[in-house]
Amino acid sequence: MLKQRVITALVLIAFLLPALFAPMAWPFAVLSLLLIAAAGWEWGRLNGAGAASIAMGVLLAAMCAAALWAGWGDSPPHLAWWLAMGVWVLGGSFVLRGGVAGWPRVPVAARCAIGLMLLWTAWLALAAAKTIGVNFILSVFCLVWAADIAAYFGGRAFGKRKLAPGISPGKSWAGVWSGMLGALALAGFWLWLDTAFHVDSRSLYTLLHDRLGAIGVVGVVVFLAAMSVVGDLFESLVKRAAGAKDSSRLLPGHGGVLDRVDALLPVFPIAMALITL
Protein backbone atom coordinates (compact mmCIF):
# COMPACT_ATOMS: atom_id res chain seq x y z
CA MET A 1 0.00 0.00 0.00
CA LEU A 2 2.77 2.44 0.93
CA LYS A 3 4.63 1.68 -2.31
CA GLN A 4 1.46 2.35 -4.31
CA ARG A 5 0.86 5.63 -2.47
CA VAL A 6 4.40 6.84 -3.12
CA ILE A 7 4.37 5.90 -6.82
CA THR A 8 0.97 7.54 -7.37
CA ALA A 9 2.07 10.68 -5.53
CA LEU A 10 5.25 10.92 -7.62
CA VAL A 11 3.29 10.53 -10.87
CA LEU A 12 0.81 13.23 -9.82
CA ILE A 13 3.63 15.58 -8.83
CA ALA A 14 5.35 14.97 -12.17
CA PHE A 15 2.25 16.31 -13.93
CA LEU A 16 1.19 18.92 -11.36
CA LEU A 17 4.43 20.85 -10.84
CA PRO A 18 5.14 21.66 -14.53
CA ALA A 19 1.51 22.76 -14.99
CA LEU A 20 1.57 24.82 -11.81
CA PHE A 21 4.82 26.63 -12.62
CA ALA A 22 4.14 27.07 -16.32
CA PRO A 23 4.10 30.77 -17.30
CA MET A 24 0.75 30.24 -19.05
CA ALA A 25 -2.43 29.53 -17.08
CA TRP A 26 -3.96 27.00 -19.46
CA PRO A 27 -1.81 23.89 -18.65
CA PHE A 28 -2.93 23.97 -15.02
CA ALA A 29 -6.51 24.76 -16.02
CA VAL A 30 -6.60 21.76 -18.38
CA LEU A 31 -4.97 19.36 -15.91
CA SER A 32 -7.33 20.42 -13.11
CA LEU A 33 -10.24 20.15 -15.57
CA LEU A 34 -9.41 16.48 -16.20
CA LEU A 35 -9.16 15.79 -12.48
CA ILE A 36 -12.41 17.58 -11.67
CA ALA A 37 -14.17 15.67 -14.47
CA ALA A 38 -13.01 12.44 -12.83
CA ALA A 39 -14.35 13.76 -9.53
CA GLY A 40 -17.68 14.39 -11.27
CA TRP A 41 -17.80 10.78 -12.40
CA GLU A 42 -17.04 9.67 -8.83
CA TRP A 43 -19.78 11.92 -7.45
CA GLY A 44 -22.31 10.39 -9.84
CA ARG A 45 -21.32 6.85 -8.80
CA LEU A 46 -21.60 7.69 -5.10
CA ASN A 47 -25.01 9.29 -5.55
CA GLY A 48 -26.89 6.66 -7.51
CA ALA A 49 -26.43 8.02 -11.03
CA GLY A 50 -25.36 4.59 -12.30
CA ALA A 51 -24.43 4.53 -15.98
CA ALA A 52 -25.10 8.27 -16.19
CA SER A 53 -22.05 8.90 -13.99
CA ILE A 54 -19.80 8.99 -17.07
CA ALA A 55 -22.15 11.52 -18.67
CA MET A 56 -21.93 13.61 -15.50
CA GLY A 57 -18.16 13.67 -15.73
CA VAL A 58 -18.32 14.62 -19.41
CA LEU A 59 -20.89 17.34 -18.70
CA LEU A 60 -18.72 18.77 -15.93
CA ALA A 61 -15.70 18.81 -18.25
CA ALA A 62 -17.79 20.60 -20.89
CA MET A 63 -18.94 23.19 -18.33
CA CYS A 64 -15.35 23.85 -17.32
CA ALA A 65 -14.19 24.03 -20.95
CA ALA A 66 -16.99 26.48 -21.75
CA ALA A 67 -15.93 28.70 -18.85
CA LEU A 68 -12.33 28.55 -20.05
CA TRP A 69 -13.36 29.44 -23.60
CA ALA A 70 -15.43 32.37 -22.28
CA GLY A 71 -12.36 33.76 -20.53
CA TRP A 72 -13.65 33.13 -17.02
CA GLY A 73 -10.32 31.64 -16.00
CA ASP A 74 -8.83 35.16 -16.17
CA SER A 75 -11.88 37.21 -15.19
CA PRO A 76 -14.47 34.98 -13.51
CA PRO A 77 -17.81 36.30 -12.26
CA HIS A 78 -17.44 37.05 -8.55
CA LEU A 79 -21.04 36.02 -8.01
CA ALA A 80 -19.97 32.40 -8.54
CA TRP A 81 -17.76 32.56 -5.43
CA TRP A 82 -20.49 34.01 -3.25
CA LEU A 83 -23.02 31.48 -4.53
CA ALA A 84 -20.64 28.62 -3.73
CA MET A 85 -19.93 30.12 -0.30
CA GLY A 86 -23.64 30.29 0.49
CA VAL A 87 -24.20 26.69 -0.58
CA TRP A 88 -21.24 25.43 1.44
CA VAL A 89 -22.05 27.35 4.61
CA LEU A 90 -25.83 26.97 4.67
CA GLY A 91 -26.23 23.76 2.68
CA GLY A 92 -23.25 22.11 4.32
CA SER A 93 -24.63 22.83 7.78
CA PHE A 94 -28.03 21.47 6.77
CA VAL A 95 -26.64 18.28 5.24
CA LEU A 96 -24.27 17.52 8.11
CA ARG A 97 -27.07 18.13 10.60
CA GLY A 98 -29.21 15.58 8.73
CA GLY A 99 -26.46 13.00 9.00
CA VAL A 100 -25.78 9.93 6.89
CA ALA A 101 -29.43 8.85 6.94
CA GLY A 102 -30.65 12.19 5.62
CA TRP A 103 -28.56 12.43 2.46
CA PRO A 104 -30.18 9.52 0.54
CA ARG A 105 -33.57 11.17 1.02
CA VAL A 106 -32.45 13.99 -1.27
CA PRO A 107 -33.50 13.15 -4.87
CA VAL A 108 -30.69 11.77 -7.04
CA ALA A 109 -31.13 14.55 -9.61
CA ALA A 110 -30.74 17.19 -6.88
CA ARG A 111 -27.66 15.48 -5.46
CA CYS A 112 -26.06 15.35 -8.90
CA ALA A 113 -26.92 19.01 -9.56
CA ILE A 114 -25.37 20.01 -6.23
CA GLY A 115 -22.23 18.06 -7.10
CA LEU A 116 -21.97 19.70 -10.53
CA MET A 117 -22.31 23.17 -9.04
CA LEU A 118 -19.81 22.62 -6.22
CA LEU A 119 -17.21 20.92 -8.41
CA TRP A 120 -17.55 23.49 -11.20
CA THR A 121 -17.10 26.47 -8.89
CA ALA A 122 -14.14 24.75 -7.21
CA TRP A 123 -12.47 24.23 -10.60
CA LEU A 124 -13.22 27.82 -11.63
CA ALA A 125 -11.66 29.06 -8.40
CA LEU A 126 -8.56 26.90 -8.98
CA ALA A 127 -8.15 28.23 -12.52
CA ALA A 128 -8.64 31.82 -11.38
CA ALA A 129 -6.23 31.40 -8.47
CA LYS A 130 -3.50 30.26 -10.87
CA THR A 131 -3.90 33.46 -12.90
CA ILE A 132 -3.24 35.51 -9.75
CA GLY A 133 0.09 33.76 -9.23
CA VAL A 134 1.86 30.66 -7.98
CA ASN A 135 2.48 32.20 -4.55
CA PHE A 136 -1.23 32.87 -4.14
CA ILE A 137 -2.47 29.44 -5.18
CA LEU A 138 0.16 27.67 -3.09
CA SER A 139 -0.82 29.73 -0.04
CA VAL A 140 -4.39 28.41 -0.33
CA PHE A 141 -3.28 24.82 -0.94
CA CYS A 142 -0.93 24.95 2.03
CA LEU A 143 -3.61 26.37 4.33
CA VAL A 144 -5.67 23.23 3.82
CA TRP A 145 -2.66 20.94 4.13
CA ALA A 146 -1.37 22.68 7.27
CA ALA A 147 -4.80 22.50 8.89
CA ASP A 148 -5.09 18.80 8.01
CA ILE A 149 -1.62 17.90 9.32
CA ALA A 150 -2.06 19.90 12.54
CA ALA A 151 -5.52 18.37 13.04
CA TYR A 152 -4.09 14.87 12.66
CA PHE A 153 -1.40 15.32 15.30
CA GLY A 154 -3.58 17.41 17.61
CA GLY A 155 -6.38 14.88 17.38
CA ARG A 156 -4.07 11.97 18.14
CA ALA A 157 -2.59 13.76 21.14
CA PHE A 158 -5.69 15.35 22.66
CA GLY A 159 -8.72 14.06 20.75
CA LYS A 160 -11.17 12.66 23.27
CA ARG A 161 -14.37 14.47 22.31
CA LYS A 162 -15.46 13.28 18.87
CA LEU A 163 -16.59 15.81 16.28
CA ALA A 164 -19.02 13.73 14.21
CA PRO A 165 -18.75 10.05 15.18
CA GLY A 166 -21.58 9.01 12.87
CA ILE A 167 -19.82 10.51 9.84
CA SER A 168 -16.08 10.38 10.53
CA PRO A 169 -15.22 8.60 13.80
CA GLY A 170 -11.57 9.64 13.66
CA LYS A 171 -12.22 13.38 13.81
CA SER A 172 -12.26 15.21 17.13
CA TRP A 173 -12.83 18.75 18.35
CA ALA A 174 -9.21 18.88 19.50
CA GLY A 175 -8.23 18.14 15.91
CA VAL A 176 -10.39 21.02 14.66
CA TRP A 177 -8.81 23.52 17.09
CA SER A 178 -5.33 22.19 16.31
CA GLY A 179 -6.00 22.56 12.59
CA MET A 180 -7.03 26.19 13.07
CA LEU A 181 -3.88 26.91 15.08
CA GLY A 182 -1.77 25.24 12.41
CA ALA A 183 -3.39 27.35 9.69
CA LEU A 184 -2.81 30.53 11.71
CA ALA A 185 0.85 29.64 12.24
CA LEU A 186 1.21 29.13 8.49
CA ALA A 187 -0.45 32.48 7.80
CA GLY A 188 2.01 34.28 10.08
CA PHE A 189 4.95 32.56 8.40
CA TRP A 190 3.66 33.36 4.93
CA LEU A 191 3.14 37.04 5.75
CA TRP A 192 6.82 37.19 6.69
CA LEU A 193 7.75 35.22 3.57
CA ASP A 194 6.00 37.72 1.31
CA THR A 195 8.00 40.60 2.76
CA ALA A 196 11.35 38.80 3.05
CA PHE A 197 11.53 37.36 -0.46
CA HIS A 198 10.64 38.41 -3.98
CA VAL A 199 7.57 36.41 -5.01
CA ASP A 200 5.50 36.41 -8.18
CA SER A 201 2.29 37.51 -6.44
CA ARG A 202 0.84 38.34 -3.07
CA SER A 203 -0.35 35.40 -1.02
CA LEU A 204 -3.87 34.94 0.28
CA TYR A 205 -2.71 36.19 3.68
CA THR A 206 -1.10 39.37 2.37
CA LEU A 207 -4.17 40.18 0.28
CA LEU A 208 -6.39 39.68 3.31
CA HIS A 209 -4.07 41.76 5.50
CA ASP A 210 -4.12 44.60 2.98
CA ARG A 211 -7.91 44.58 2.82
CA LEU A 212 -9.03 43.52 6.29
CA GLY A 213 -6.05 43.97 8.62
CA ALA A 214 -4.55 41.49 11.08
CA ILE A 215 -7.86 40.69 12.78
CA GLY A 216 -9.40 40.01 9.39
CA VAL A 217 -6.60 37.58 8.55
CA VAL A 218 -7.20 35.67 11.78
CA GLY A 219 -10.96 35.52 11.25
CA VAL A 220 -10.77 34.43 7.60
CA VAL A 221 -8.04 31.81 8.19
CA VAL A 222 -10.01 30.27 11.07
CA PHE A 223 -13.14 30.28 8.90
CA LEU A 224 -11.35 28.65 5.95
CA ALA A 225 -9.83 25.99 8.20
CA ALA A 226 -13.33 25.25 9.52
CA MET A 227 -14.72 25.02 5.98
CA SER A 228 -11.98 22.56 5.02
CA VAL A 229 -13.37 20.32 7.77
CA VAL A 230 -16.89 20.78 6.35
CA GLY A 231 -15.66 19.69 2.91
CA ASP A 232 -13.98 16.62 4.39
CA LEU A 233 -17.03 15.68 6.46
CA PHE A 234 -19.40 16.23 3.54
CA GLU A 235 -17.50 13.78 1.33
CA SER A 236 -17.26 11.29 4.20
CA LEU A 237 -21.03 11.55 4.68
CA VAL A 238 -21.68 10.93 0.97
CA LYS A 239 -19.38 7.88 0.99
CA ARG A 240 -20.97 6.45 4.12
CA ALA A 241 -24.44 6.92 2.65
CA ALA A 242 -23.26 5.00 -0.44
CA GLY A 243 -21.53 2.32 1.64
CA ALA A 244 -18.18 3.12 0.03
CA LYS A 245 -14.76 3.34 1.67
CA ASP A 246 -13.21 5.41 -1.13
CA SER A 247 -14.73 7.59 -3.84
CA SER A 248 -13.05 5.33 -6.45
CA ARG A 249 -9.77 3.53 -7.14
CA LEU A 250 -8.49 5.96 -9.74
CA LEU A 251 -5.46 6.84 -7.61
CA PRO A 252 -3.86 3.59 -6.39
CA GLY A 253 -3.10 3.78 -2.70
CA HIS A 254 -5.00 7.06 -2.33
CA GLY A 255 -8.56 6.17 -3.32
CA GLY A 256 -10.23 8.60 -5.69
CA VAL A 257 -9.89 12.21 -6.74
CA LEU A 258 -12.64 13.32 -4.34
CA ASP A 259 -10.75 11.68 -1.48
CA ARG A 260 -7.78 13.96 -2.20
CA VAL A 261 -9.61 17.24 -2.92
CA ASP A 262 -12.63 17.15 -0.58
CA ALA A 263 -11.23 19.72 1.86
CA LEU A 264 -10.15 21.99 -1.02
CA LEU A 265 -13.59 22.17 -2.65
CA PRO A 266 -15.12 24.77 -0.30
CA VAL A 267 -11.87 26.59 0.54
CA PHE A 268 -10.87 27.80 -2.92
CA PRO A 269 -14.15 29.50 -3.93
CA ILE A 270 -14.63 30.95 -0.45
CA ALA A 271 -11.07 32.31 -0.44
CA MET A 272 -11.69 33.86 -3.86
CA ALA A 273 -14.89 35.44 -2.52
CA LEU A 274 -13.26 36.91 0.57
CA ILE A 275 -10.33 38.53 -1.25
CA THR A 276 -12.88 40.56 -3.23
CA LEU A 277 -14.04 42.34 -0.06
d(CA 243, CA 254): 18
Partnered with residue 172 across adjacent β-strands are: 162
> CB–CB of 120/60 below 8 Å?
yes
Percentage, residues of the chain above pLDDT 90? 86
Count CB-CB contacts under 10 A for residue 168: 18
* CA 163 distance to own-chain centroid: 20
Q: Average pLDDT in the 216-240 region? A: 97
d(CA 151, CA 229): 10
The answer to whether residue 112 scores a pLDDT higher than 80 is yes
The predicted-structure confidence for 36-60, as pLDDT tens digits, reads as follows 999 999 999 999 999 999 999 999 9
Q: What is the pLDDT of residue 9?
A: 84
d(CA 99, CA 86): 19
Q: What is the pLDDT of residue 1?
A: 60
The predicted-structure confidence for 163-207, as pLDDT tens digits, reads as follows 999 999 999 999 999 999 999 999 999 999 999 998 999 999 999
DSSP label at 163?
E
Helix then strand count (H, E) for the chain reads 11, 2
The answer to whether residue 2 scores a pLDDT higher than 70 is no
The answer to whether residue 12 scores a pLDDT higher than 80 is yes
d(CA 199, CA 133): 9
> CB–CB of 255/267 below 8 Å?
no
Count CB-CB contacts under 10 A for residue 55: 14
